[in-house]
Structure 1
Amino acid sequence: MNFIRIIQETVTWIEKVNPDFEVNLYRSQELSPKSYYHQIPDYLKGNVLNDLISKRSKLLQTARVELIPIPDLGDYGRIMFFEANETVLDGAPEDVSAFFIDIGDAPPWDTWLAIGSQLNAINFHRAGHELNSDLLIAWVPKAQYYYAQQACEVALLDNFAWPANEFISDEFNAVNSLFQKPDNIIQPEERIDFENILKQSKIIMSEIEENSKSYYEKLLSENSKKPFWKRMFKR
């Protein structure tokens, strides 16, 4: 597992392929696990993450998208930990995060990087600081800092955290700075189109519930516009 490259691909996907949160809430059809994270059985979580990572990597390679350089990653966001299995499904984090967090206390699947067991397998953290095996590690774009922090503050089970980078193995010093709480988290000045976000969230929830290829085809056929991926990489 080349975790540093996975971070590069994730940030590149969000910044160059699916950069507009209000289009699909960073939940692209191409990468959809077709299930909420907390609903995925623990023994399948690693497979789901591997499949998503592989799809994202292949799509970027096929489109010949240049990856954002490692030294520049910190300009675009930070990494956060989500204990999405520990959820009461109260909807509070979802509400205050403008749907960046879903009903199951997980961030958008476009941002998923790894689970705890995968990082433990590559000795990402120093001995004695291993992660919970089903912990979800994900990217938080700079534009979502405020909303991710809001979710942290209202979560009943305290299941969101900005990680502490002092426990990361020296081998991963190149991305060490990404594992810390951002400075100066303030409410964005720009206005968010909450009506459109609510509309998109309802579509995404319906897609997950329907969970069928025929539904996706029907949804696309009803939309006169091409999917964002085809619009961006028209040959």
Structure 2
Amino acid sequence: MSFSIVLLFYFIVKIVIVLIRHFFPKKKSFPISDKTNYPLFSEKNVAQRALTNEEMDILIRRIKQVIKWTEKLAADFDYNTNDYRKVFRQTNPKVNGLPAFDLNFEYPSWNIDDRDADSYRTLFKQAIAERDEADTIDLSAIDNLGRILTFQIGCTTCDGAPVAESKNYVDIADVPPIDTWICLRSWYYHGHEHCDEVLFCWVPKAFEPVMQGAIDVEILDSYRWLDENDTALYNAIKQG
């Protein structure tokens, strides 16, 4: 059997698995997490609610931190010649002795399960620990700095279109890079339905075109801009 046939069969199986998980999600219950370490707001099996004051404070803090952090990482980035796969994957925690992300091949990929929310929880603590406080960031001017993206984790065909169009900014599983992650929310209304797990990410202004390229070719509608999808939350953030 030729390699191309094997590869085609692999992608067909992946698509079938994604569709099964998308239309027949497992019903699991996630408790409220320790938000001291990383912001995870779980509200499974209840109607979506507004964040508490404490959660909102944490979210705003994380957004300010990620803005400052990504500015630092991209300070010397050449947008024409540099490698988009690595600029915001400089944090690469080891899990079971292996880096979480494999950056040595044509497309960035995962060495752990990219569809499991627990994988993100494992990575969040170390990712956020790298970041400094950023109290001077003015979120009322956030529109000039970039945009907040939400991504439904596990909702991907792994067809390679988003990673190619984004110049490797997203990975083969369509996930934005770890150094842009803000928080993970459970049972969040994401466009047209409540989704099990949604990842909030920061997209700096200069990186919006490559991210939009991924959005334009992604066929399962797994990406949303927060300012379009949840204007109430976005406006509250701008007042933070």
Same fold (TM over 0.5): yes
Q: What is residue 64 of structure 2 aligned with on the other side?
A: 8
Q: What is residue 229 of structure 1 aligned with on the other side?
A: none
How many Å separate the matches in 2 of 1:133 and 1:114?
Answer: 14
TM-superposition CA deviations, 1:67-106 (whole Å, max 9, x none)? 5333343321000111231111111000011111111101
Aligned pair partner of 2:124 in 49, 52, 55? 49
Q: What is residue 198 of structure 1 aligned with on the other side?
A: none
More helix by share: 1
Q: Residues 166 and 139 (structure 1 numbering): CA distance in 2 closer, same or farther, change over 3 Å?
A: closer
Residues 183 and 200 of structure 2 are in contact (CA less than 8 Å); yes or no, is this contact kept in structure 1?
A: yes
How many percent identity over aligned positions? 27
Q: Per-residue deviation at 1:157?
A: 1.3
Q: What is residue 69 of structure 1 aligned with on the other side?
A: 138
Q: What is residue 198 of structure 2 aligned with on the other side?
A: 135
Q: What is residue 81 of structure 1 aligned with on the other side?
A: 150
Tell me the secondary structure at the aligned position of residue 88 of structure 1: coil
Instruction: After superposing the two structures, state which structure 1 stretch, 65-74 or 156-165, moved more.
Output: 65-74
Residues 8 and 73 of structure 1 are in contact (CA less than 8 Å); yes or no, is this contact kept in structure 2?
A: no
Aligned Cα RMSD in Å?
3.3
1:112 aligns with 2:112: no
Q: Residues 156 and 17 (structure 1 numbering): CA distance in 2 closer, same or farther, change over 3 Å?
A: closer
**Aligned ranges 1:222-233 → 2 under 5 Å:** none
How many Å separate the matches in 2 of 1:151 and 1:157?
Answer: 12
Tell me the secondary structure at the aligned position of residue 153 of structure 2: coil
Q: What is residue 28 of structure 1 aligned with on the other side?
A: 90
Q: What is residue 232 of structure 2 aligned with on the other side?
A: 168
Q: What is residue 180 of structure 1 aligned with on the other side?
A: none
Q: What is residue 100 of structure 1 aligned with on the other side?
A: 169
Q: Per-residue deviation at 1:44?
A: 4.2
Residues 9 and 67 of structure 1 are in contact (CA less than 8 Å); yes or no, is this contact kept in structure 2?
A: no
Q: Per-residue deviation at 1:156?
A: 2.0
With the length of structure 1 as denominator, give the TM-score of the two structures: 0.57
Q: Residues 12 and 155 (structure 1 numbering): CA distance in 2 closer, same or farther, change over 3 Å?
A: same
Tell me the secondary structure at the aligned position of residue 173 of structure 1: helix
Residues 11 and 73 of structure 1 are in contact (CA less than 8 Å); yes or no, is this contact kept in structure 2?
A: no
